[in-house]
Structure formats: structure tokens, C-alpha cells
Copies of this chain bind each other. A is one copy, B any other.
Amino acid sequence: MLTDRKPIKIHEAIEAVLEFAKEGEIEYIPIEESDNRILKASIKADHDIPPFDRSPLDGFAVRAEDTVSASSANPIELEVIETVGAGGLSNSIPQKGQAIRIMTGAKMPEGTDAIVMFELTKEIERNGKTFVSISRKFNPGDNISFQGEETRSGDVLVEAGRQVEPGVKALLATFGYSKVPVAKKPTIGVYATGTELLDVHEELKPGKIRNSNSYMISSQISKAGAIPKYFGKLVDDFDRCFEAVKNALEEVDVLITTGGVSVGDFDYLPAIYEKLGANVLFNKVGMRPGSVTTVAEYNGKLLFGLSGNPSACFVGFELFVRPWVQIFLGSKKPHLQMVHGELKSDFPKANPFVRFIRSKMTIESGKVFAEPVGLDKSGVVTSLANSDALVVLPGGTRGFQKGDTVTILLLNGEGGTAIFKEKRS
């Protein structure tokens, strides 16, 4: 029974974990399967965009000099000698008095240097020939999209570490990435502890509850970008637990256990770490919930001993496991995005420790607010489902009031670069 634990500060705990962070390998996957994956290499333009001078409009490619004298009073007429669609190339070179009908996106025909849009022209059929009437002057370069004006060959378009979103996918396609270089996902094992736990398909029995943490954590693992591997429940026998943990470690990059790290008679994890000879980085953190969060390292692999309490388990994952995963994937923003906002309701209960309060973030009239959810006991269960942020309340002797500025960690944000750090030392 471990009762003499020394709590360390939250940021020290995160830093201790990240000493064992490492970047994973690259793999090449079909572009069709690349949504939400993290790029392991920067995306570079291997050609100019546009790749050639082209028409941005449906209209006529002309020699600007032919239009010098055009006016509404004296429109000029040019003979239309060819039509070029997008993707087509002109076969002829217009001479004085000639033009080429051209569609949006088509390459500028040789010999032409301006585009006149359909809307400003009139077409005339005469003697089996087609003429276009133009009633104003155009200058060389008018209405041309020039080669390279959007992007030059060699430009870095998206940095490594970014997630593939629809806009990124468009760039990957534009530059021919039929295979996309992405970070290989780490595999995170999950073992639940607790003889009170029933599986989701089991009927309730007296004294038992269903295991919700493993499902929640597996979801968090997927959301963080890794592959969850659920091993089941650890049985209530130390030797078998020890073997199970040891064997699981062989199959995963990181192993999470939920429960079993507190001071109860069947909280085997501390003894398992000891028997393994694992290096316990910390076994108590100055925070609520999740103070018993324990992290150990064995042969370079991390074992996260998260609390069996659902809130503590959730917070422990987001603070400690998520950044490890994101760094493995090469993300430049491994932490939860941290913003500030106004507390939307009083939070009167003081606590000597830093607290992470599950909350709902809203934006009203351009300002950020956060409302704690599940403040009373009757909200504990639903607060799991209704929060998209964690409000961080510093430890102290007073409560907090509506309107107070608080730190907010966004659960669905774009990630952040900074580690949460308590202000007081």
C-alpha cells in the first residue's frame, strides 16, 4: 500500500512524460485514405501553378494590338479560326485580324496576349466564317493567369506535422501525391482493472457496474491519432496481472491501465511497476481529478496508470497521453489548445489543488466563455458527454465568480504548443 506519495506539479509531470517522447516512422498511404492523418513530410510544389499561362474565363484569345482602335462606335471584327477547350491546345497561330475562341483553364494560344470575355463580344456568321466583334481596347496581359503567379515550383505549401484536411487533400492531388507520406500510428494498449467491472453486453449484477473507461479511452486514443488495442480486464490475481502487463508491453508502443493505482487492497499497479523494475516517473500529481495518476517507464516504453474514476481517467489521458501520441505523429501542436475566456457561472467551491473542470465553451459577440457542466453530483455522468473544454481553476482558498477570466483547454481545438503551467510556484 503506497500512502506516502509526493505530488509533483502538473507541468513537471507532463515534462517528465515527454522526456520519453519520440517521433515515429513514416509510411506511404493512398491519397484516398489520408483524411485526418498527419503529414510526415512537407508538401512542396513540383511545378508552377498555373503550370502555363492560361485563360481564367470563357472568351476569345486575341492579339492586343489588333484591338487598339476598337470602341463602341467603331467595333473591330476578328476572324475566329479555332476553338480551344480546357485541356486542349491550339493548332494554329492567329495572324493579324484573327482570334481563337477559348474556354476557362485552357493554355494561352501562341501568338495571343489578351483574353476578351464572352460577355463583351458579339459573334457574327458571314460567308461560312465566324467573326467576333469587340468594342474596346485590350492591353497585352489583360485577363491572363500567368504561369507561376499562384505558386512557384519549389514552394513549401504545407509543413510536415499538419493534418490532412479537405484543403490539404486538394494540394496533395494537385501535386501528384497519389501516395501520401504520413506518420505511422502508434498502438496504445488498454487494460482495465476492477473486479466490479462488467462488459458492455453483460447484465447488471449487484455490486457491479459496467466498464465505461475502456470505451472512453479507446475513443480518446483514436481521436488523438493512435490505434487502441483493448486487452480486457486484468484479473484479480497479482501474478497473472504481472504477466499480463509484461506481455501486453511487447505488443504496444504505450500501455494504459485504468484503475488500480490508488491505495486499495487490490490496487496492484504500483507493485507491478516495482516487480518489472520500471522507472516510476511520478505517482501523484498536484491536481484534481487525477491526483493518483502514475506514469512509469520500462525499456523506453511508457506505462500510464490512469485513475479508475472516469473524470480523472479522461483528464489524465488528455494531459499526459495525448501529447505523447501527437509528438509520435510529428504534430507541432501536441498539447490541448489553451485559450482564455470568461467563466459563465460561479464556481464557489475552493480547493487547494489545481482543478480541471469539464465545461462547455461558447463564443458570444466575439468573446469566449466557458460554463462548467455537471457542477452538482447529478451532473457527473452527463458531464462526460456534454463538455468540449476543460476549465483550469488554480488551487487556492477562494472560489471563482461569474465573469472571472479563466484558462480553458479545448478538447476539439487545433492543438497547442504550450504546456499548462501553474502560475504560483
Chain A contacts to B: CB under 8 angstroms: 3, 31-32, 35, 45, 47, 49-52, 58, 83, 85-89, 101, 103-107, 118-119, 149-151, 155, 157-158, 162, 164-178, 194-197, 200-202, 204, 206-220, 222-223, 236, 262-266, 308, 310, 314, 339-342, 358, 363, 365-368, 377-388, 405, 412, 414
Contact = CB atoms under 8 A, between A and B. Distances in A.
Contacts of A308: 104-105
B150 A266 contact: no
A170 B215 contact: yes
A215 B405 contact: no
Given A86-B196, A212-B170, A201 B218 contact: no
A220 B169 CA distance: 10
Contact of A86 (B50, B162, B195): B195
Contacts of A380: 49, 150-151
Given A167-B387, A378-B149, A381-B150, A85 B266 contact: yes
B171 A405 contact: no
13 contacts: A85-B195, A105-B209, A106-B207, A150-B381, A157-B385, A166-B217, A166-B223, A167-B384, A167-B385, A170-B216, A172-B200, A176-B204, A341-B363
Given A149-B377, A157-B381, A381-B150, A170 B87 contact: no
A178 B165 contact: no
B195 A87 contact: yes
A171 B385 contact: yes
B388 A204 contact: no
A212 B377 contact: no
A166 B390 CA distance: 14
Contacts of A212: 169-171, 173-174
A86 B266 contact: yes
Contact of A168 (B31, B339, B385, B412): B385
Given A58-B264, A263-B58, A365-B340, A381 B103 contact: no
B85 A47 contact: no
Residue of A47, A52, A105, A367 ringed by the most chain B CB atoms within 10 A: A105
A2 to B, nearest CB: 12
A365 to B, nearest CB: 6
A73 to B, nearest CB: 24
A211 B236 CA distance: 58
Contacts of A210: 173-176
